[in-house]
Amino acid sequence: MKTFAQGINVSGWGAVKAGTQCLVDAVKTDMYRHLGFPQVLPTMVAMKVTFKCNSRCTTCYIWQNYLREPEKVKEEMTFDEFLQFMKVNPHMRDVALSGGEPFCRDDIGDMWKVLDDYGYRTGGNTNAVDIDHIMREESAILKRLSGKNIRYLTISTDGIGDAHDKIRGVKGNFDNTMKLLAWCQEREKEYPFYSVGLSYTISPENVDDFPGFIDFALSKGVDPYRINFRTVQEAVVLCRNTGKVDPFSHAERVIAAIEKVQAAHPEFKHRYFVEGIKQYMRNPEKLVIPCYMGYTGMFIDPYWNVYACPFIDEVVCNLKDYDFSLKKAWECAEVKKTQQQIKSGDCYNCWGGCTAVKSAVSGVGNLLRLGWVEKWRLLGMGKKR
């Protein structure tokens, strides 16, 4: 067991131990943030293992990377480099692999098996474009895993029918998402450690359809706690969409849509991240909570460039220069500079799952806020997978 941040089912004594570990980590992080000791290394690491993508999304332009620079794909991390990274960083608590489309890597199954061997959860998002390939790979992966750690797959679904296909830029893609969902739900019956979900990026094009999508997803038997949604944001590293989307042009519609969902489905009330979306939309100039990226969380691109977060287009360092060791890298002056920048709030204000969740369990104040908002769920009044 690692931490709540990993989305692990915890109850009873296990919940107490996980909560205590989170609190101890939060105290250490605050001491490091304000006093400079003891040193705290990032424990929650998000890795983009590839920029390859076979979608053509209107909210994300990662798929254009290798159209512009086709030779750049040869510089992506190798499996041996990934192995070395895992070996020299035993302190990590959560390692999330993503793309692009992660299934575009031939060795993604091997990477996930390594995470499983080290005791981490495995999985990620998929666009369901090459569905036959995904099902073959997923079937093989499930057979290889130990069953001791959660395996999850989140299918990106930004609408129903043609609405999804238009945003994703691939005709017939919605039908594939539903076929993959049904296939994964059958695998859930076979593998108790397996969990499938849907994700929805709220944008001006689909905000008004969001409540209907939630009704649809629940009718398909998707666990409400495995329906993830967020608002579109300018993420220069994550989506290459700076200047191409306006996160706040539809703010009031986002709030209204979320509140309509919460009124119809109480499962979406008392959810920390959801309440944060509304707060972010109401006051985009103010951080929802103090950010701890660069302290407990970080982001790595396919070329081993390190960023404090995917919203700041400043490379902190390249792990190849430090033998892939975060401990060595975190001694460099650029890291200290970036940490001070984030501590002062001098960065792009965001509220994304890749950053907010990490900050939510970092620092005593943030952890207490999390507990207060989610108290009913933590007390067992909400179903949690």
For the stretch 75-85, pLDDT in tens is 999 999 999 99
**Does residue 369 form part of some domain?**
no
Residue 14 has pLDDT above 70, yes or no: no
- Domain count along the chain: 1
pLDDT at 41 over 80: yes
- 370: in domain: no
Q: CA 342 to CA 273: how far, in whole Å?
A: 20
Asked if residue 5 is part of any domain, the answer here is no
Alpha-carbon gap, residue 102 to 333, rounded angstroms: 32
- Helix, strand or coil, per DSSP, at residue 353: helix
Tell me the torsion sign for CA atoms 166, 169, 175, 179.
negative
Of 231-245, 286-300, 319-333, 339-353, minimum mean pLDDT range: 231-245
For 200-211, write each residue's pLDDT tens digit: 999 999 999 999
Question: Could you tell me if 169 and 163 are in contact, meaning their C-beta atoms sit under 8 angstroms apart?
Answer: no
Question: Minimum mean pLDDT among 28-37, 231-240, 257-266: which range?
Answer: 231-240
Q: What pLDDT score does 183 carry?
A: 98
pLDDT at 379 over 60: no
Give the per-residue pLDDT at 382.
Answer: 37
Beta-ladder partners of 196: 153
pLDDT at 9: 41
List C-alpha distances in Å: 222 to 124, 199, 312, 376, 382. Answer: 16, 11, 34, 21, 15
How many other C-beta atoms are found inside a 10 Å radius of the C-beta of residue 47? 21
> Mind listing the pLDDT tens digit for each residue in 266-284?
999 888 999 999 999 999 8
Is the residue at 7 inside a domain?
Answer: no
**H-only helix segments in the chain:** 12-35, 65-68, 79-88, 108-117, 131-144, 162-168, 173-190, 210-219, 251-264, 272-282, 326-329, 333-343, 353-360, 364-373, 375-378
CA-based R_g, the chain, Å: 20
Q: CA 246 to CA 106: how far, in whole Å? A: 35
Where does the pLDDT of residue 2 fall: very low under 50, low under 70, confident under 90, or very high at 90 and above? very low
For position 11, what pLDDT does the model report?
46
Half-sphere exposure of 226 (CA within 13 A, CB side): 24
Tokens of 134: 């995904």
CATH number at residue 184: 3.20.20.70
Paired strand residues for 125 = 154
Query: What value does the mean pLDDT take over residues 59-66?
Result: 91
Confidence of residue 377 (pLDDT cuts 50, 70, 90): low
Residue 20 lies in a domain: no
Kindly tell me if the per-residue pLDDT of 236 is higher than 90.
no
Cβ neighbours, 10 Å, residue 83: 14
Q: What is the pLDDT of residues 214-229, one digit of tens each?
A: 999 999 999 999 999 9
Dig out the tokens for 212 from the structure: 């209907």
pLDDT band at 371 (very low <50, low <70, confident <90, very high): confident
At 5 the pLDDT is 38
What are the tens digits of pLDDT across the range 116-172? 999 999 999 999 999 999 999 999 999 999 999 999 999 999 999 999 999 999 999
Residue 1 has pLDDT above 80, yes or no: no
**2 domain-assigned:** no
Give a yes or no: residue 16 inside a domain. Answer: no
Nearest to 47 by CA among 120, 105, 101, 96: 96
Q: Which of 202, 201, 195, 214 is nearest to 142 (CA)?
A: 195
**Of 179, 198, 182, the residue nearest 131 (C-alpha):** 179
- Whole-number percent of the chain with pLDDT over 70: 93
Q: Domain for residue 356, yes or no?
A: yes
Residue 369 has a pLDDT of 87
Listed in sequence order, the residues at least 6 apart from 219 whose beta carbon sits closer than 8 Å to its beta carbon are none
Q: How far apart are CA 213 and CA 208, in angstroms?
A: 10
Range of the domain at 228: 38-360
What would the pLDDT profile of 340-358 be if each residue is shown by its tens digit?
Answer: 989 988 777 888 877 888 8
pTM of the model: 0.91
Predicted confidence at residue 356, as pLDDT, reads 87
Q: Is the pLDDT of residue 383 over 50?
A: no
